[in-house]
Amino acid sequence: MTTVGFVGLGTMGSPMARHMFDSLPPDDTMVLHDLSDAKVTDLLAGGAVWCATPRELAAKAEIVFFMVPDIPQIKASLDGADGLLAGIESETLIVVCSTVAPDAIRTLDAEVAEASNGLAHVIDAPVSGGQVGAEAGTLSIMVGGPEKFVERAMPYLGLAGNPVHLGPTGAGEVAKACNQLICAASIVANAEAAVVAERAGLDVAKLFDLMSGGYASSRIMIDKAPRYINKDYTVSGAAAFWIKDLRAYLEEAKVTGTVTVQGDRLLDAFQGVVDAGWGEQDTAIVQKFIEENQA
C-alpha cells in the first residue's frame, strides 16, 4: 500500500493527478493539496482525500508530486509549522514536476535531506506536452535522480505520460531547459512568420495548413496555428513562465561553456512581452509583440 500525494492542481497538475488516481493500484490511495479543491471535486468524490495543509499531506503520503510554478512556491509548501517538512515522520520521496533551474533542484535536495534528517529526498521529473499532453496523459517526462528513488516514482509517472530516466538529480531539469529553448524558438518563429505572411498579403490559415505538411511542421505549429491565425491569446501556457525557463537554459549553457546563438534573443522577446504587460496571456502573444515593434 502506498499513499500518493499531489501538490499543485492547476492547468497541468489536475489532469496529471487525475490520470494517476484513475489507474492507481487497488490498495493505493491519493491525498491532495492546493489553494482550492475546485478542479478535483471528481477525484474527491471518487475517494481521494483533501488535506488542508502540506503538513497534513506529508503525514499521510510516502511519495509526493509537486506541480507548482517554481522553487519559491515549492519552498512555501515545504517550510513553516504547516509545511510538508513538519509532517514527515518516515521516508518520503518528493518528485518535482515543475520546471526549475537544475542547480535549484540539486540545492533543494540537499536542503530537504538535511532538514528531514535524511528521511526525505528530492528527484526531478519536469514534463513537456503542455495542457493538451497533460489532459491526454501523453506528457514527455524527463527524470533525474538516483536509481533507487527513480524506481519508486516511475510507475506513477508512467500513468501521466512517458517518463525516461536521464541521469542524476538535476538531469531532468537540464533536459527540460534544452526542450524549452527549442519550444521557445518554435513559438517565436511561427509568430514572426505569421506577421510577415499577413503583411505580405498571404492567407495565414492556408500558409500554416501547407507548412504543417512539410519540414517546418511541429507539434507547436499544429497546436498554436489556430491562435496565430485568429490572434487568440487566451492563456493555456502563460508567457511569463518562459522567462525563468530560458534563464535556466542560459545558466546551464554558461556552466557547460556553451556559446548560445538563440537563447539570449528568445529571452529578450519574452521579456519584451512581459514588460508590455502581456505576461499572463498565452505564449502566442509574442505575435502581438512582434506586430507592435517597428523595424
Spatial distance between the Cα atoms of 294 and 272, rounded to a whole number of angstroms: 13
Q: Which residues pair with 29 in a beta bridge?
A: 3
Q: SS3 for 53? A: coil
Exactly one of 176, 224, 244, 254 is catalytic; name it: 176
Q: Which residues pair with 5 in a beta bridge?
A: 31, 64
Q: Cell numbers at residue 32, please?
A: 491532495
**What is the helix (H) or strand (E) element at residue 208, kind and residue range?**
helix 204-211
Q: SS3 for 7? A: strand
Q: SS3 for 68? A: coil
Residue with grid cell 528527484, as numbered in its chain: 123
Among 17, 45, 48, residue whose Cα is nearest residue 31: 48
Q: Mark whether 60 is an active-site residue.
A: no
- The answer to whether residues 53 and 102 touch, using CB atoms and an 8 Å cutoff, is no
Residue with grid cell 482525500, as numbered in its chain: 49
Question: In sequence order, which residues have a C-beta less than 8 Å from that of residue 230 and are 6 or more positions away?
Answer: none
Spatial distance between the Cα atoms of 199 and 111, rounded to a whole number of angstroms: 53
Q: Show which residues are catalytic.
A: 176
